[in-house]
Chains A and B, each alone.
Chain A
Amino acid sequence: MKKLYEMAHSRAGDKGNISTLSLIPFDETDYETLCQKVTAEKVKEHLKDIVSGEIIRYELPNISALLFVCHNALLGGVTTSLGMDTHGKSLSFALLEMEV
């Protein structure tokens, strides 16, 4: 078992109450492995304390990257959340804590 941050990087984005998390392998040959191991279901389990809605995974083989679109992830939404990180900017590093 190793943590995702050993083999991939990520950036978080936000729209309303949705957090978007990219997952990009350092080595493009790891893309297939990520597709197999980092499923939407596994990410949902890993982020269960953060994301309360649906997680949709998009595959982008053209750039060897995955994108996770996480609904109900920002404590009610960027502009009205009571949280510290209202945009969920730090959530990319939450995803990278996942073990694969």
Chain B
Amino acid sequence: MKSTIRIGCGAGFSGDRLEPALLLAEKGNLDYLVLECLAERTIALANQRKMQDPRKGYDLLLERRMESLLPLLAQNKVRLITNMGAANPVEGARKVMEIAQKLGLKVKVAAVSGDDLFSHLPSGGFNFDHFQIIDEDLPLVRNPVSPIRNQQVISANAYLGTEGILEALNQGADIVITGRVADPSLFLAPMMYAFGWASDNFDLMGKGTIIGHLLECAGQVTGGYFADNYKKTVPGLASLGHPIAEIAADGTSVISKVDGTGGIINLQTVKEQLLYEVLNPHEYITPDVVADFTSVRLQQTGENRVSVSGGSGKTRPANYKASVGYKAFFLGEGEISYAGHHALARAELAGSIVQERLKNIFSELRIDYIGLSSAHHTTFGAVPEPNEIRLRVAAKGETREQAALVGEEVEALYTNGPAGGGGARKFVSEIIGIVSVLVDRNTFHPSVQIFES
């Protein structure tokens, strides 16, 4: 058994950059590379592609990523774990095999499936009444005015834990392609495999989950999403390197990156990422464990090196969380800019005109002043008036045609609104909403399918 393992994270979201992953595979001296590519909504969109073509539904960038990564992974004996299988891990694995054969590489690929709730449903399909909804703050589901109808549901996937990945590694897979798995589980599974950690050793499950949480957003722990150009400066952000954790069998680790890459790893970057998206630091819930972040210790041990120790866990939840994707509405948007004297006053006049013209069509119309208050909905007191303001109007349409009316009325401000409006743009997009529900974990049994070239 190795005394330490090195896990790199080369992607923290579906659209992440490829170059840092290539550098990790080439120079990271890694045992495992993880690519986390599945946001809440990504799998619902992937499921729609699968409905149209049963051979599709895996990550749109899978081919491009694998074509350049596979040779480096094979050469340096790095095993890959990724959720790029999205709604169709089996077809994703087949695609990887196809690429490997084209490149003349011998690999063993595993597809980890079993997260799709649809396959466990009785006839009649999905019914919200059968599930407990987690997001109490979401106004939509039980809303008597416009409830989400069960027919609008297009996907439902449970967040699985480490089991399927662990089995794939035990079967000797070089490449593990999963569907929906909790992000930290992608990292915890290889730790359990390498060190023989038992799944009911909740202290180690907690420690490993904390390491996974620090890595899962890739560049967000190495200086990405951190620089403020004021007190927090980051060198070489354009060539930002992605993180590596060197993990010992006792669950302690050191976070680092490839020498010569840009970015910074210090107590500040690690603290920001440790608390990122945490709802309760005493109880961070994954399928594997309820982890406790309040005993984590961090120490800067060198340039771009932070050691992580402590942290713990207790028990594992009886239920899995599942994300239910549904067709919510068509978003209609229109934008137009005003600049120079009285720019804000002209933008406000334009906004009130559009509101007047659309008031009988949309019950809720959102008017934003980009450059003033569109992101924070406030300016925190008086601020100097900007030289430019961009008006943005948005509303929810029941049909694409209805949503388009928003942009059409904004564009019509050219000849039917205030002076000097320019650069009008209009957009319509179909919006997929997500609701989280609890599902009995005993319903789900991950299945592992192996492909060999």
Contacts and interface: CB of A to CB of B under 8 A. Distances in A.
Interface residues of A, number: 42
A67 B275 contact: yes
A90 B396 contact: no
Contacts, number: 132
Nearest to A77: B138
Interface in B363-404: 364, 366, 368, 370, 374-378, 380, 392, 394-396
A20 B394 CA distance: 25
A10 B225 CA distance: 11
Interface string B260-288: 00000001100111111111111000000
The CB with the most chain B CB atoms within 10 A, among A16, A17, A58, is that of A16
B378 A9 contact: no
Interface in B93-145: 134-135, 137-140
B394 A18 contact: no
Interface stretch (B18-26, B74-82, B228-236): B228-236
B347 to A, nearest CB: 15
A10 B274 CA distance: 12
B296 interface: yes
A50 B231 contact: no
B40 interface: yes
B419 interface: no
Nearest to A96: B228
B135 A17 contact: yes
A84 B225 contact: no
A35 interface: no
Contact of B268 (A9, A49, A72): A9
A65 B278 CA distance: 13
Interface of B: 40-41, 134-135, 137-140, 225-226, 228, 230-232, 267-268, 271-282, 293-298, 310, 328-329, 331, 364, 366, 368, 370, 374-378, 380, 392, 394-396, 431-434, 436
Interface of A: 5-6, 9-11, 13-18, 20, 22, 24, 26, 46, 49-50, 53, 58, 60, 62-63, 65, 67, 69, 71-72, 76-80, 82-85, 90-91, 93-94, 97
Given A20-B275, A84-B375, 8 more contacts: A16-B138, A60-B281, A62-B296, A65-B271, A82-B394, A82-B395, A85-B374, A94-B380
